[in-house]
Amino acid sequence: MQERRKAREVALQVLYSLNFAGLDTEKAQDLFWGNFVAPKSAREFAARLISGAWSHREELDRLIADCSDNWSLGRMSKVDISILRMAAFEFLYCDDIPPKVSINEAVDLGKMFGSENSGSFINGILDALHSKIQKNHADHAVHSVPRPAKA
C-alpha cells in the first residue's frame, strides 16, 4: 500500500496549505499536481482525503478538541491538526480502512512532518477519539435494538 502512504503525504501537504491559502480544495490540488506526479489511484485517494477532511473540518475539529485534554486547537501545530483531521475523517467516513491503519499512518506522518513529540501526541488523541467513536457505536447499537412487546 505504498500508493496510499504517498496519497496521505500529498493530502497532508495540501490540507496544511489550505490553512493559509485562500483556495478551494480543487485549486489547491491542481497547484500541487501541477508540480508532482503520482499514480491515478494515489491521486484519487488523496483527493478523497483532502475534500473529505476539509469539508468536514468543523465536525472533525469538535471531535479532536473533545479528545485533547489541556490542548486547544489554537495551541496545536497546523501539521498536527491536518494529520488529526485526516485520520478522524478516515475513522468516520472510510469504512474500508481499519482504524489501526489510520492511527499508524497518522503517527508516521507526525514523525516525518511534525515536531519531535508529534507522533506520541497524535497517537494519544487518536486512541481517545477511536475509543469514543467505538463507545458511541456500541451505545447506539444497544439503544436501537427493538425491545420485545409485552404480552
Q: Is 123 within the bounds of a domain? A: yes
Q: Is 150 within the bounds of a domain? A: no
Measured distance CA(31)–CA(34) in Å, rounded: 5
95-106: b (≥16 Cβ within 10 Å) or e = eebebeebbebb
Q: Is 151 within the bounds of a domain? A: no
Q: Which domain holds residue 139?
A: 2-144
Instruction: Count CA atoms closer than 13 A to 96's CA, side-chain side.
Output: 3
Q: What is the mean pLDDT of residues 103-120?
A: 96
Q: Is 149 within the bounds of a domain? A: no
Grid cell 483531521 — which residue?
Answer: 85
| Residue 17's CATH number | 1.10.940.10
Q: Is 68 within the bounds of a domain? A: yes
First and final C-alpha spacing in the chain: 55
Widest CA span of the chain, in angstroms? 70
- 30-34, 52-56, 115-119: least confidently modelled range: 30-34
DSSP structural state of residue 24: -
Characterise 83 by phi-psi region: left (phi > 0), alpha (psi -120 to 50), beta (else): alpha
Q: Is 81 within the bounds of a domain? A: yes
pTM recorded for the entire structure: 0.88
% residues pLDDT > 90 (the chain): 66
Please count the structural domains in the chain.
1
